[in-house]
């Protein structure tokens, strides 16, 4: 594998942080097609867990996030099907810096929801985010219950205590077959997205992103409705593919090129499912029944993820070495992609500066597993000029070779091979210049130097 450095006078616009996520993320089921019998309505258990940590005091459109969440739950939870056993738990709301601050505020009840609204409204956001502990406690609440066990977690951030919520979710799924649906509310952190989506994925649940009050209401309403589907096609990256369902008795196409992202309700019968992966995945004799959940999981597929310092600035291509088939072509490296198990050659290229690239050979992707690669040899350099980011320009030089490698405005962060650099900064208004020496960029580190270029 190799990493090529920058050419002389290779300019770059400043990097602006822009985080774009899929609106929803469905999770992976077990590695074989399975049927899960839908529990009767009277045996459905749902525990709602609300994040009441300190960050819920942040505002969206002039309203505290905690108030938005409480208003949403107050409107929706009392109206949930009377046959559903409902409970309510909150965390982070009673004690400061307490990683066991998670409490069942409203135990399982069916029918009359008396007192639920008052409990929800009494919650006041305060401190920590003990997601893992809350899931463990919710598991204890659900374990004695006989029926379909469900959790709805609403959180605006990631775990703040010393636990791994995803591992805990996996263990809960193994122990009591609980399904955890997760709503990420106003999430700004990439690690938080990954953690919350992992919780859902580990239990066959759904991860939904809610950016505002309207999103939160729709997501909560949708995830608390009774199950009304009997077919879900799972691939490691559901948004990438569509599938077709063919009635084997009549030969008619019942669903055609439908996104694997959603769940569907089909008439009872036996079907052939075709998924437009490369190569096409076909599964026959899929029996669909009313009131029963059927999940078809694409086999012999794995996931590929490439990490770079600035993910949205790079694209990746992947070619299967066995048949020389290019399965990924210049797709953004930020996301995970599913590809057939096999051996691949990988090429990662900067969108604006194609002379910056990295290649890797013999990258093995295994069925049902994630192969994650990390682009070596690069780091960030940021000269922080505060409010003068669009006034002060910067030229960056390789200090040893005395060669200019980049230029732009100081508001951006610059991607550079590890090494030692010097920089010339100029205030476009005053024409005053500044020199910085010995700016050391280390692999996967962000080097920041503050500079007042206003004077």
CB 379 within 8 A of CB 418: yes
CB 57 within 8 A of CB 125: yes
Q: Where are the beta strands (DSSP E) in 29-147?
A: 34-37, 44-51, 59-60, 63-64, 85-91, 102-109
The CA distance from 215 to 202, in Å, is 24
The CA distance from 89 to 104, in Å, is 4
Selection from 106, 182, 170, 92 nearest residue 136 by Cα: 170
The pLDDT of residue 332 is 85
The CA distance from 84 to 44, in Å, is 5
Q: Is 13 exposed, middle or buried (0-12, 13-18, 19+ CB in 10 A)?
A: exposed
Cis, peptide link before residue 279, omega less than 30° from 0: yes
Task: Collapse the DSSP code of 1 into the 3-class scheme (helix H, G, I; strand E, B; otherwise coil) and give the result.
Answer: coil
**Per-residue model confidence as pLDDT tens for the chain (455 residues):** 333 333 323 333 232 222 232 332 233 333 233 333 333 334 889 999 999 999 999 999 999 999 999 999 999 988 888 888 999 999 999 999 999 999 999 999 887 788 899 999 999 999 999 999 999 999 999 999 988 899 999 999 999 998 999 999 999 998 998 999 999 999 988 889 999 999 998 888 889 999 999 999 999 998 887 666 789 888 766 556 889 999 999 999 999 998 886 778 899 999 999 998 877 889 999 999 987 889 898 888 888 989 887 777 889 999 999 989 888 888 888 778 888 899 999 999 988 877 767 899 999 999 888 899 988 888 889 999 988 888 999 999 999 999 998 899 998 888 888 999 999 999 999 999 999 999 999 998 889 999 998 86
The CA distance from 26 to 205, in Å, is 7
The pLDDT of residue 14 is 31
């Amino acid at each position: 594998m190799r990493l090529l450095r920058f050419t002389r006078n290779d300019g770059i616009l400043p990097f602006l942080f822009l985080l774009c996520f899929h609106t929803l993320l469905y999770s992976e089921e077990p590695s074989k097609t399975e049927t899960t019998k839908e529990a009767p309505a009277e045996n459905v258990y749902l525990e709602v867990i609300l994040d009441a940590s300190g960050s819920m005091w942040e505002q969206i459109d002039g309203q505290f996030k905690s108030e938005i969440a409480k208003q949403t739950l107050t409107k929706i939870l009392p109206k949930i099907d009377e046959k559903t056993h409902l409970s309510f738990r909150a965390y982070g709301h009673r004690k400061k810096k307490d990683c066991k601050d998670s409490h069942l505020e409203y135990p399982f009840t069916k029918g009359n929801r008396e007192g639920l609204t008052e409990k929800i409204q009494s919650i006041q956001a305060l401190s920590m985010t003990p997601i893992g502990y809350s899931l463990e406690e919710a598991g204890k609440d659900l374990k004695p219950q006989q029926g379909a066990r469900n959790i709805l977690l609403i959180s605006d951030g990631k775990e703040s205590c010393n636990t791994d919520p995803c591992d805990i979710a996996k263990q809960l799924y193994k122990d009591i077959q609980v399904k955890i649906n997760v709503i990420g509310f106003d999430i700004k952190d990439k690690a938080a997205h990954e953690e919350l989506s992992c919780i859902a994925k580990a239990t066959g649940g759904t991860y939904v992103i809610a950016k505002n009050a309207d999103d939160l209401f729709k997501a909560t309403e949708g995830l608390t409705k009774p199950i009304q589907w009997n077919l879900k096609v799972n691939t490691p990256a559901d948004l990438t593919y569509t599938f077709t369902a063919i009635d084997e008795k009549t030969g008619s196409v019942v669903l055609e090129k439908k996104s694997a992202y959603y769940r569907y309700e089909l008439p009872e019968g036996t079907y052939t499912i075709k998924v437009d992966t490369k190569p096409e995945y076909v599964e026959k004799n899929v029996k669909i029944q009313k009131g029963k959940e059927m999940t078809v999981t694409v086999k012999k597929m794995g996931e590929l993820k490439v990490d770079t310092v600035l993910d949205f600035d790079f694209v990746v291509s992947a070619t299967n070495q066995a048949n020389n088939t290019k399965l990924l072509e210049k797709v953004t490296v930020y996301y995970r992609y599913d590809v057939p198990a096999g051996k691949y050659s990988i090429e990662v290229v900067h969108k604006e500066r194609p002379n910056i690239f990295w290649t890797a050979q013999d990258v093995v992707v295994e069925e049902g597993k994630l192969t994650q690669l990390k682009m070596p040899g690069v780091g960030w350099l940021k000269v922080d000029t505060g409010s003068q980011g669009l006034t002060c320009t910067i030229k960056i030089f390789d200090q040893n070779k005395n060669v200019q490698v980049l230029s732009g405005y100081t508001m951006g962060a610059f991607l550079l091979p590890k090494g030692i650099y010097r920089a010339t900064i100029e205030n476009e208004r005053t024409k005053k210049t500044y020199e910085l020496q010995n700016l050391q960029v280390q692999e996967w580190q962000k080097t920041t130097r503050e500079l007042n270029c206003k004077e």
